[in-house]
Structure 1
Amino acid sequence: MGTESPPHQKLETDPTSKVDDDKLKKQKEIDDWLPITSSRNAKWWYAAFHNVTAMVGAGVLSLPYAMSHLGWGPGVVILILSWVVTLYTLWQMVEMHEMVPGKRFDRYHELGQHAFGEKLGLYIVVPQQLIVEVGVDIVYMVTGGKSLEKIYHLVCDKPTCKHIKTTYFIMIFASVHFVLAHLPNFNSISGVSLAAAVMSLTYSTIAWTASVHKGVQPDVQYGYKAPTPSGTVLNFFTALGDVAFAYAGHNVVLEIQATIPSTPEKPSKGPMWRGVLIAYIVVALCYFPVALVGYYMFGNKVDDNILITLEKPKWLIIAANMFVVIHVIGSYQLYAMPVFDMIETVLVKKWHFRPTQTLRFLVRNIYVAATMYVAITFPFFGGLLGFFGGFAFAPTTYFLPCIMWLAIYKPKKFSLSWCTNWICIVLGLLLMILSPIGGLRSIIINAKDYQFYN
């Protein structure tokens, strides 16, 4: 009897303990429901193909077109420099995922909040990340729809074939996402992502091998095709955005790493970095042959999508376009998942909605419908790449990780780390300022002759 606590002490401690337990239990239920934190059993190869799917998107098909505006010398330098810089900044993000012992930064904005403060981190990162992820999904809606349209025209090339509006093809492509958007988390879309990664390597290979098969065109020209110096400069800026768009994986890298299990003995950065290196080897195998071979064969007459330039062999181009459709289905879902996570987190944690399947159904269907509507309204593939590529991809991919690294680790002035990060920041800022100018001009030029919902 003497060892028991007095009754009045039980009354004081038990309610508080019960409230804390209930709060932790409720928090765990929410985390188990949210897309990013609901599953942490991914392997390193999941990271590899998720990163390939995130990185090698439709942007690879515009690289020969970007080369036609950049020219041989600047084009090759910018391609290699982008590959090196973005691999470095991706390594930084993988390292920073678990920089605080016992804590994981599962989302890009959480890392931003640690670097810049609770409110400022949100204001800096969230708008840019949303622009990137929603922007990519809109561009992929356009790409998927136009690839379906290309398949239709290749299969049915007779005068008797009925003309179908691009709008309808985008709607057909969107219909798939009204189903796939309800897969709950990253691991549940791993099959879709793997198929997308394989497709990206396949259609990239088809793009450059079919170009080789077609051979160097008899009237090929490598000079800048804009009639005025100002046009040449603005096209150059657009091309910078196209290249920036091609390296977009950073916006989902922390969310991908969050799915990998981690212990103090075996932190997640080990398997994640292995996956990233494999992904970047695949990126090099896709990007460099497509960009250089496509430009070498067609010169400045190449289209903003290399598969549009290639007409023969017909069956191979049909297959390549089908592979593009499958790939962008996976890529759309990969970029949509962090957006779903953001929206659902706000609704459940801040606005106290119940985490139900009905809420998820409504949120995700509204998102797919919204991206489809914007894609139908503004289907300017090349201009969209340039605009979004510079406006938001440059910060989140090229220099925001460097600023975070400097803010958190504070390397010594003029040390190798300090200099490297500042070089990346300057290059990224130039890219962010210059490329949207060209992209916006391209959209305006296309809009002059464009009929809405045609």
Structure 2
Amino acid sequence: MGSLPPSSMDAEEKPASAAAAAAATMPSTDAQKQLDAGALFVLKSKGSWLHCGYHLTTSIVAPALLSLPFAFASLGWGPGLLCLITGAVVTFYSYTLLSLVLEHHAQLGRRQLRFRDMAHDTLGPGWARYYIGPIQFSVCFGAVVGQALLGGQSMKSIYLMARPDGTMKLYEFVIIFGVFLLILAQIPSFHSLRHINLISLVLCLAYSACATAGSIHAGHSANAPQRDYSLVGDSKDRIFGVFNAIAIIATTFGNGIIPEIQATAAPPVTGKMFKGLCLCYTVVVVTFFSVAISGYWAFGKQAEGSITYNFILEDGSILVPKWFLTMTNVFILLQLAAVGVVYLQPTNEVLEGLFADPTKDQYSARNVVPRLIFRSLSIVVATLLAAMLPFFGDLNAVIGAFGFLPLDFAVPSIVYNITFKPTKRGLKFWLNTVIAVVFSIVAVLASVSAVRQVIVDAKTYKLFADHT
């Protein structure tokens, strides 16, 4: 987890054989940097700003956005909209800061290809090895688990609409979806996902439009539940609910792999990530706000963990046409696979660094066999965890509180201030400092709230339970 990145932008462009030849004439430490298999094989720097935009959109605009009305149910209209706007503004600003730090080091001749590389150079090796690296790995692999679970839930929803008396269990669908993920996990590099992530961008627009249209249709339906926007629970439950909702929103905006995405851009990298962020956040504004507002308007405090669950009433009747709900779930299902594979890339990079031989060709038997084995094992573990722990809402909040809040809200401001040392008399220094302090506090409080919610709900959960 603490290996160093290539010392120049040329490293990721060299074939493995060229890197091996160059290694023979350089010091051993430089050779190790040049021969980093994770950088050579997974983080290939060949993409354009459009490709960065596709990767960013897939990593942020994911089916977790369908939980935004549920978060609003704990916040209400005013605070909900405020938190959503704050999340959009702060994350766009924070991701831009990270991009500028990465560009700065690239211009100095030391391109940082991974989050832990940047942390190593700015915060120190201890922070990179014992905090940033483990936190990033945990949230990214946790996201893979979440996508596997949501994929199983979407498949089961489609199945039950076709066969209401069907007997297949949720964990069976999770396993089926896991097999699909296992196949996609063998795609060799992050850059190779660019076409899949373009399709993913279209899919997220499609199911967000369906969720919005479905909510509006359901809200005007004669069978729709009576809308109630009041907050439930006593004062203590409401306070914990607020921080739990903040954690959900943070997870929805979460990324955690900005350096890895920027690493896919071909040099020179200046300006490419900002253009990609502009493309991504255009999609973010269109999808997040339409789904959050329409879903909460239609169902109020009854909004469920995914707004599509509200389209089916307790008596089995459906508030939207069955074909429409099936189509929406298919769009969700397909994008979930792309999201899962994107968040698998940090794991793939670590596995390549540990088990691949950079002196051999990427597609040689020496490298293909361990890649197939260890990537498959990582998907098997993620699928097993998803099947065992079928409660995505709580998992979503825990991931956001422990990982995405620090990585995406607090750390970017800190590394920017350390790298560029803005004057303490200027606005930028204090803005960054306030963001880092405030969101560090929010991360701690949200973590407590998320863990409490898991403990409260644990009594209703069983391993391999069959519920959505």
The normalised TM-score by structure 2 is: 0.86
2:179 to 175, 178, 181: 175
CA contact (8 A) 1:60 1:287 kept: yes
Residues 1:346 and 2:354 are matched in the alignment: yes
CA contact (8 A) 2:206 2:331 kept: yes
Tell me the CA shift for residue 313 of structure 1. Answer: 1.7
1:212 to 188, 197, 216: 216
- Given the superposition, is the C-alpha separation of residues 118 and 239 from structure 1 closer, same or farther in structure 2, using an over 3 Å criterion? same
CA distance in 2, matches of 1:62, 1:342: 31
Residue 194 of structure 2: aligned partner: 190
Report the AA paired with residue 260 of structure 1.
Answer: A
Residue 293 of structure 2: aligned partner: 292
Residues 1:242 and 2:255 are matched in the alignment: no
Q: Deviations over 1:126-166 (max 9, x none)?
A: 01101210111111111111111111111222xxx232111
- Given the superposition, is the C-alpha separation of residues 323 and 380 from structure 1 closer, same or farther in structure 2, using an over 3 Å criterion? same
Residues 1:418 and 2:418 are matched in the alignment: no
Tell me the CA shift for residue 426 of structure 1. Answer: 2.3
2:338 to 325, 330, 340: 330
Tell me the CA shift for residue 60 of structure 1. Answer: 0.3
CA distance in 1, matches of 2:162, 2:448: 38
- Given the superposition, is the C-alpha separation of residues 355 and 415 from structure 1 closer, same or farther in structure 2, using an over 3 Å criterion? farther
Residue 115 of structure 2: aligned partner: 108
Residues 1:59 and 2:64 are matched in the alignment: yes
Tell me the CA shift for residue 346 of structure 1. Answer: 3.4
Question: SS of 2:309's equivalent?
Answer: helix
- Given the superposition, is the C-alpha separation of residues 32 and 237 from structure 1 closer, same or farther in structure 2, using an over 3 Å criterion? closer
Question: Based on CA coordinates, which of the two structures has the bigger radius of gyration?
Answer: 1
CA distance in 1, matches of 2:41, 2:335: 21
CA contact (8 A) 1:34 1:345 kept: no
CA contact (8 A) 1:34 1:344 kept: no
CA distance in 2, matches of 1:307, 1:168: 21
2:408 to 372, 394, 397: 397
Which ranges of 4 or more aligned residues in structure 1 deviate by more than 3 Å?
21-37, 346-350
Residues 1:88 and 2:93 are matched in the alignment: yes
Residue 78 of structure 2: aligned partner: 73
Residues 1:140 and 2:152 are matched in the alignment: no
CA distance in 1, matches of 2:462, 2:74: 27
**Quick one: percent identity of the two aligned structures?**
27
Report the AA paired with residue 247 of structure 1.
Answer: F
5 Å matches for 1:304-319? 304-310=305-311, 311=318, 312-319=320-327
C-alpha RMSD of matched pairs (Å): 2.3
- Given the superposition, is the C-alpha separation of residues 303 and 34 from structure 1 closer, same or farther in structure 2, using an over 3 Å criterion? same
- Given the superposition, is the C-alpha separation of residues 295 and 47 from structure 1 closer, same or farther in structure 2, using an over 3 Å criterion? same
2:50 to 45, 50, 58: 45
CA contact (8 A) 1:33 1:355 kept: no
CA distance in 2, matches of 1:324, 1:381: 15
Q: Could you tell which deviates more after superposition, 93-102 or 382-391?
A: 93-102
Tell me the CA shift for residue 96 of structure 1. Answer: 1.2
CA contact (8 A) 2:65 2:288 kept: yes
CA distance in 2, matches of 1:97, 1:314: 48
Tell me the CA shift for residue 30 of structure 1. Answer: 4.7
Question: SS of 1:411's equivalent?
Answer: coil
1:164 to 168, 171, 180: 168
CA contact (8 A) 1:115 1:407 kept: yes
CA contact (8 A) 1:344 1:360 kept: yes
Question: SS of 2:444's equivalent?
Answer: helix
Residue 233 of structure 1: aligned partner: 239
CA distance in 1, matches of 2:27, 2:422: 43
- Given the superposition, is the C-alpha separation of residues 18 and 138 from structure 1 closer, same or farther in structure 2, using an over 3 Å criterion? closer
1:436 to 431, 442, 447: 447
Residue 458 of structure 2: aligned partner: 447
Residue 207 of structure 2: aligned partner: 203
CA contact (8 A) 2:397 2:450 kept: yes
CA contact (8 A) 2:37 2:356 kept: no
CA distance in 2, matches of 1:379, 1:138: 10
CA contact (8 A) 2:160 2:166 kept: no
Question: SS of 2:305's equivalent?
Answer: coil
CA contact (8 A) 2:250 2:405 kept: yes
Q: Could you tell which deviates more after superposition, 111-120 or 281-290?
A: 111-120
Residue 389 of structure 2: aligned partner: 378
CA contact (8 A) 1:380 1:446 kept: no
Question: SS of 1:221's equivalent?
Answer: coil
Q: Could you tell which deviates more after superposition, 335-344 or 322-331?
A: 335-344
Q: Could you tell which deviates more after superposition, 327-336 or 91-100?
A: 91-100
CA distance in 2, matches of 1:18, 1:211: 60
CA contact (8 A) 1:35 1:337 kept: no
Tell me the CA shift for residue 118 of structure 1. Answer: 2.7
Tell me the CA shift for residue 349 of structure 1. Answer: 8.0
- Given the superposition, is the C-alpha separation of residues 302 and 120 from structure 1 closer, same or farther in structure 2, using an over 3 Å criterion? closer
Tell me the CA shift for residue 450 of structure 1. Answer: 2.3
Tell me the CA shift for residue 436 of structure 1. Answer: 2.2
Tell me the CA shift for residue 25 of structure 1. Answer: 7.5
Question: SS of 1:102's equivalent?
Answer: coil
CA contact (8 A) 1:382 1:442 kept: no
Q: Deviations over 1:365-419 (max 9, x none)?
A: 1110111111111111111111111111101100101111112222111411111
CA distance in 1, matches of 2:277, 2:80: 24
Tell me the CA shift for residue 361 of structure 1. Answer: 1.2
